[in-house]
Amino acid sequence: MDGAGVGGGGEAAWRKLSAEELENQYAPSRWVIRMGAEEALRTYKQIGIEATRKARDTCRSQLHVPYGDGDGEKMDIYFPDQASEGEPGGLAVLSRQRCLALPCTLFCVTALPFFMFFHGGYWQSGSKDESAFMVNPLTAQGVAVVIVAYDIAPKGTLDQMVDQVARSVAFVEKRYPSNKGIYLCGHSAGAHLAAMVLLTNWTKHGVTPNLRGFFLVSGVYDLQPLVFTSQNAPLLMTLEDAQRNSPQRHLEVARTQPVDPACPVLVAVGQHDSPEFHRQSREFQQALCRGGWRASFEELRDVDHFEIIENLTQKDDALTQIILKTILQEF
């Protein structure tokens, strides 16, 4: 499984797999060892629902904020309980009840770091309404958290999703121009979408976001293997679609250069992710480094494709701590 995925010499590693092996490699739930595949999917969904319910009950927030005209173009924004009186606009400590009664424009002048999360689900499942895993641990440390929705398949195409995610980032920058940095995190399919933001030409968006860090978790960065799996049924990707939307290919063929070479990019994968997920993560991190990005690779021990995000509900989780250290060391 160590062969080149895209752009390397010889045949791509995934092309050497049988159809059955390829299907297995790109079915993350089959690699869970702590419980059965179906139970792992149910558990992940339930933890996400409970974390989102808790976040909405305990954090001051603005829910279903439109970042575009489409029905699916919404985001939930969660704020820390405290903000310094010295911040622009003089926003001091506010109760959740009082905060929710205030006009949204008040928060536009609040200088905070913003953490944006793009959920997974192979671009065909998942929702912002069950993805607020990390809200409580991060807001407790003064970080605003944005959970982004996008139009999943079959309603949305990959091209549309990539565009929506880029527009959501531009929206946050325009809405909160005094932010102390925007940090992007995506899981699985969401990691792919976050990676595509690295390649965005911001000219058409009329703003260059203050991007200060990326956390790409258990992602897929070369989409070509998925064309030949059952995951493609709702997506209807052609090879051309997959190539156009593969950040790995953009790095190795188009030689896309970083807007800010100092912006850190963490490419993380769970110990119990499949070998293909490991290969994709390692090769993408290596391609980023060759392209001039400040990229690092992390294999998180004792977690699978789902635990790696489920555990973000815990303040002492390894990935939670990496995220907080990256954000808070800037201040």
Place of tokens 């990707």: 237
Query: What is the CB neighbour count within 10 angstroms for residue 10?
Result: 9
Which of 168, 188, 218, 246 is an active site residue? Answer: 188
Question: What does the alpha-carbon distance between residue 155 and residue 131 come to, in Å, rounded to a whole number?
Answer: 20
Token pair for residue 115? 């953490």
Q: Is 205 a catalytic residue?
A: no
Q: Give Cα separations from 229 to 22, 218, 222, 276, 277 (angstroms).
A: 7, 18, 14, 13, 15
Question: What does the alpha-carbon distance between residue 276 and residue 1 come to, in Å, rounded to a whole number?
Answer: 7
Which residue, among 17, 37, 21, has the nearest Cα to 272 in the 3D structure?
37
Q: Which amino acid is at 31?
A: W
Question: What does the alpha-carbon distance between residue 52 and residue 32 come to, in Å, rounded to a whole number?
Answer: 24
Q: Is 273 a catalytic residue?
A: yes
Q: Give Cα separations from 15 to 10, 20, 82, 275 (angstroms).
A: 11, 12, 52, 14
Which of 187, 246, 305, 317 is an active site residue? Answer: 305
Q: Is 305 a catalytic residue?
A: yes
Place of tokens 């390692």: 282
Q: Which amino acid is at 264?
A: P
DSSP letter assigned to residue 98: H
Give Cα 185 distance to the centre of its chain: 3
Which of 241, 273, 304, 317 is an active site residue? Answer: 273
Write out the catalytic residue numbers: 188, 273, 305
